[in-house]
Amino acid sequence: MASPTKRRGSDNWYYRKRIPKDVQAILAKLPKDRRPPNWFRDQISISLGTGDRAAAKAKCPEVAAEVERTMAALRDGPMPLTDKQISALSGELYKAFAEGLEDTPVLTTEQWLHVAELNEQARRGEYGPVARLGIHKSPDQRRRASMEERFGAMTNVFLARRGVLTDNASRWKLIEWASRDLSEAAKKLARNADGDFAPDDYAKRFQAFEHAPSKPSGRSLTALAEAWHKAALNRGVVRRDADRIKRRFEVLVEFLGHDDASRVTKQDIVRWKDQRLAEKITIKVINDTDIASFSNVFNWGVEREWLTSNPTDGTRIKSKRKNAEVREKYFLPEEAAKILQHAAAVVGSKKEARKTTAAKRWVPWLCAYSGARVAEMIQLRKQDVRKDTAHGWIMRLTPEAGSIKNNKFCDVPVHEHLISTGFIDFVNSAKAGHLFCDPSEDGSIEGPADGVYKRVYEMVREIAPEAMRQPNHAWRYTFKTYGLEVGIELLTLNAISNHAPRTQGEAYTKVTLKTRANAMKQFPRYAL
């Protein structure tokens, strides 16, 4: 996020930024009067016009966005302006005089009329000593020299300040139109100086200036995300994670209002962050979900020369303090009981899919007695529940059924409380296939599973304590906490909940089905 800085010898705050090497090379070729003001050889230093830090911080993103637009314009090179854009820019010059000075016109009526006459002299080719020397071959050349002398330098400074890099033809048309409009501005100020403040109808002709889009790269954000998604699946990235990242880009396109990968700037990502913070999204989610997703794909694009840089570089939010924890991450006994009682009493509506109702009924219970991830339990199939001759009923969470975080199957003994409350009867009566959702038409399960996940989350969220940030995830903490309380080894609890080994030594130690089944017998019932 852009932050204001202080400069020695000044009370004001400043926006500062180092100029990228490629932009430095472009600036070096520009005449000095065409360069943006306060852009030096390798650094930008723009006064924010205030000594108040809060006011400077509020203004900083606006200045940073203008800097990014100017950099994009420099990289694109001179681009012609439309007549509508030229009119808008001329209108800005008109308003700078006509509105900026109307309260105190500074000059007298006669002096403002003289200004208007000097402008008209330039338009006739009669302004300035160069025009009067008689060295020009034609009236057109004399007029052009006269207009340049009167309006050229002002136009160059104005365009540079606006971050507009245009071609000579557009610049000349702006001089032509501005000469006319500035004469009208001088006449208006002459009237103001005489006490005439009638409404200004002339200003109505001007529209707001809109930047033209940068030259398209030929690569859309959507195409970039699609290509990354395909490559990610080919190299073994879990589909659910790849789909989540791809969906982030769909939201980003909607946020930006365009789909051109080359137009995404660092300031766009900063604006995204600011909006997410305003929506009370946690810094961890913004950094580890949003920024990490964008960075992953943009880096992939840079490696393949789809992009020249990664706009997320340097955009992670730096936070010295962790989010305050005001309660335990696991459910207290009475909280767990309340959720399980509610789930056991679920009755589906006519509009709700039967498998969604079944998920609301059973998934909280299954996670409570396994520590499994809710999303992975929702993918459970009928054939994944079997009876082992030695160890009783077993559930297998497997990548064959859908995305598993570590891409490894996990056998989980079914707790006797689940059996006594009818889970096995439910499985036996179900049709073959997924128990809690139906695959989509293309056979994928991730989308439908995600929809059911949200319904389960909404149900649990209504009952779970408000301070509990991740109620679905809390079952992992809850299962391990109460398992440890009755003496089950952490290594065994990790194996049942399919948690990654903490060390290489643990990775070499395999927890057998017998050990898991014995541990599950030891795990207590939740008191309902």
CATH number, domain with residue 402:
1.10.443.10
Please indicate, yes or no, whether residues 114 and 232 belong to a single structural domain of this protein: no
Find out whether 498 and 488 touch, Cβ atoms under 8 Å.
no
Please state the pTM of the whole predicted model. 0.52
Please indicate, yes or no, whether residues 164 and 116 belong to a single structural domain of this protein: yes
User: pLDDT, tens digit, for every residue of 306-352?
Assistant: 887 889 988 888 875 666 677 888 999 999 999 999 999 998 888 89
pLDDT of 393? 96
Three-state DSSP class for residue 469: coil
Find out whether 121 and 127 touch, Cβ atoms under 8 Å.
yes
Q: Rounded CA gap, 41 and 1, in Å?
A: 23
In a domain, 311, yes or no: no
Task: pLDDT tens for the chain, 528 residues: list them.
Answer: 457 888 777 888 898 888 888 788 888 888 777 788 888 888 899 998 888 888 888 888 788 877 877 887 787 778 889 999 999 999 999 999 999 998 887 899 999 999 999 999 999 988 887 666 767 678 888 888 889 999 998 998 898 888 788 888 999 999 999 999 999 999 999 999 999 999 999 999 999 988 765 554 457 888 899 999 989 888 888 787 888 899 889 889 888 888 888 888 888 999 998 888 888 888 888 898 899 999 999 999 888 878 878 899 888 888 756 666 778 889 999 999 999 999 999 988 888 999 999 999 999 999 999 999 999 999 999 999 999 999 999 999 998 998 888 878 999 999 999 999 999 999 999 999 999 999 888 778 888 898 899 999 999 998 888 877 788 889 999 999 999 999 999 999 999 999 877 778 788 888 999 999 999 999 999 998
Please indicate, yes or no, whether residues 352 and 484 belong to a single structural domain of this protein: yes
Please indicate, yes or no, whether residues 177 and 231 belong to a single structural domain of this protein: no
Q: How many helices (H) and strands (E) does the chain have?
A: 23, 6
Long-range contacts of 193-197 (CB under 8 A, 24+ apart): 193/105, 193/107, 193/108, 193/109, 193/112, 194/109, 197/102
Please indicate, yes or no, whether residues 343 and 374 belong to a single structural domain of this protein: yes
pLDDT of 471? 87
**Bridge pairing between strands 5-6 and 13-18:** antiparallel
Please, is 401 exposed, middle or buried when counting C-beta atoms within 10 Å of its C-beta (0-12, 13-18, 19+)? buried
Please indicate, yes or no, whether residues 30 and 118 belong to a single structural domain of this protein: no
**Residue where a domain terminates, one of 61, 76, 91:** 76
Please indicate, yes or no, whether residues 66 and 91 belong to a single structural domain of this protein: no
In a domain, 364, yes or no: yes
pLDDT of 1? 47
Please indicate, yes or no, whether residues 72 and 90 belong to a single structural domain of this protein: no
Please indicate, yes or no, whether residues 441 and 503 belong to a single structural domain of this protein: yes
In a domain, 312, yes or no: no
In a domain, 452, yes or no: yes
Instruction: Find all residues with CB under 8 Å of 457, minimum gap 6, and list them.
Output: 374, 471, 472
Please indicate, yes or no, whether residues 355 and 490 belong to a single structural domain of this protein: yes
In a domain, 181, yes or no: yes
Q: Hey, how many other C-beta atoms are within 10 angstroms of the C-beta on 152?
A: 16
pLDDT of 407? 79
Quote the number of domains for the chain: 4
Residue 247 tokens read as 């969906």
Three-state DSSP class for residue 388: strand
Q: Rounded CA gap, 517 and 392, in Å?
A: 8
- Residue ranges making up the domain that contains 233: 221-303
User: pLDDT, tens digit, for every residue of 225-245?
Assistant: 999 998 988 888 878 788 889
Please indicate, yes or no, whether residues 12 and 56 belong to a single structural domain of this protein: yes
In a domain, 314, yes or no: no
In a domain, 380, yes or no: yes
Q: Hey, how many other C-beta atoms are within 10 angstroms of the C-beta on 19?
A: 19
